Amino acid sequence: MIKKVFKNLDYIILIIVFVFVAISVVALKSASQGAGEVEVKYTKQIMWFVIGLFFVFGLSFFDYKDLKKLIPPAYIFILLLLLLVLKTTPINGATSWFRIGSASLQPSEFFKIVLILSIASFIDFASEKEGINKIYNLLLSGLILAIPILLIIKQPDYGTAIVGIFIFAVMIFSAGLSYKYIVPAFVLVIVAIPILYNFVLPTHAKNRIDVFLNPNLDPRGAGYNIIQSELAIGSGMLTGQGLFNGTQTQMGLLPMKTTDFIFPVISEEMGFMISSAIILLYGILLIRIINLGRNTKDTFGKLICIGIFAMIFSHVVENIGMCMGLLPITGIPLPFISYGGSSMLTNMIAIGLLMSVAVHKKKHAYLS
């Protein structure tokens, strides 16, 4: 069994993850030297990564099909956590974290894994019956998404809510959603955007959109983060200013430099070549995930790969996009690189699920 597992692991995916974490540790070490940071985050990042490796290799030995019986209690448990976290003391205006000593737990991160497994299992079940295009199956799958999303919006955490909706949309579309539903849904989204902006979104969320369109509207307030991020990225030029030498990073001008804005730290101190290489590696990682899904014959395993692809893709695009001023700021971390225990463990669990599919997919090929 051990020989089979290690023979079928996707080592390219694993190597890319190790490279990301190595870059993360170096960037966090440098960012921790500057003003306003305590020099402990890079050591904690290593700790969370090592813990995550146990999930990766543990799940590699675990047949992903056997996860189905764990999905209902996991879904109920994550709903309970999302309810309880609303009663916690707000941090930066949001009730998204449980404080556990010096650490914190963010249930909305783990929600994404539970959502992927829940939707994959439901679609797999529906495909054996009438199919996903039956209206009641669509409504039930939408309900699986809607309940936790509403709780996450309540925190409020709009970035994670958007990621969850994107994961759901990609998985449903990949399952063969009929165009008779896609076109009306697209029209509904277009109509809903101005309504949400004018009548639903709170003032701070509107400000983020306004500042995204014109950061100079409030350069010392809401536009400060984007302006400093763009300055850091641009000042790195081709090869960077050097580790521990980034102006924006070391002078404490770059906000949230270990979490949301770790990419500008890398761009400023390591330069365009390294930051471009990171984007290239994310592209290779996403292609490997898609190829793994394409080569998996059973619906459940295929959809796990598609869901994880959608999760990582949305995080990469949103985080790098907001750092470059191409998208509004939503507080979405960069996978494997931004500091955060909940984020790291969520991503490592996702990699573990991919390894489980890679190792055990041949066993279920007869289901194709």
- β-pairing verdict for 103-105 and 98-100: antiparallel
Please report which helix (H) or strand (E) contains residue 336, including its range: none
Rounded to 10 degrees, the C-alpha dihedral 353/358/362/367 comes to 40
φ/ψ (deg, to 5) at 301 = -65, -40
Q: Encode burial over 93-115: b for 16+ CB neighbours within 10 A, e otherwise.
A: ebbbbbeeeeeebbbbbbbbbbb
Least confident of 145-159, 208-222, 315-329, 341-355: 208-222
Regarding predicted confidence, which is higher, 219 or 225? 225
Residue 246 Cα to chain centre, angstroms: 27
Q: Which tens digits make up the pLDDT trace of 110-119?
A: 999 999 999 9
Regarding predicted confidence, which is higher, 112 or 192? 112
**pLDDT class of 152 with cuts at 50, 70, 90:** very high
Report the amino acid identity of residue 293: G
Least confident of 164-173, 206-215, 334-343: 206-215
Say what the pLDDT of residue 294 is: 94
Say what the pLDDT of residue 212 is: 76
**pLDDT class of 34 with cuts at 50, 70, 90:** low
Give the C-alpha separation, 77 to 72, whole Å. Answer: 9
Average of per-residue pLDDT across 354-358: 96
Q: DSSP per residue over 157-203, as a string? A: -HHHHHHHHHHHHHHHHHTT--HHHHHHHHHHHHHHHHHIIIIIS-H
φ/ψ (deg, to 5) at 136 = -70, -30
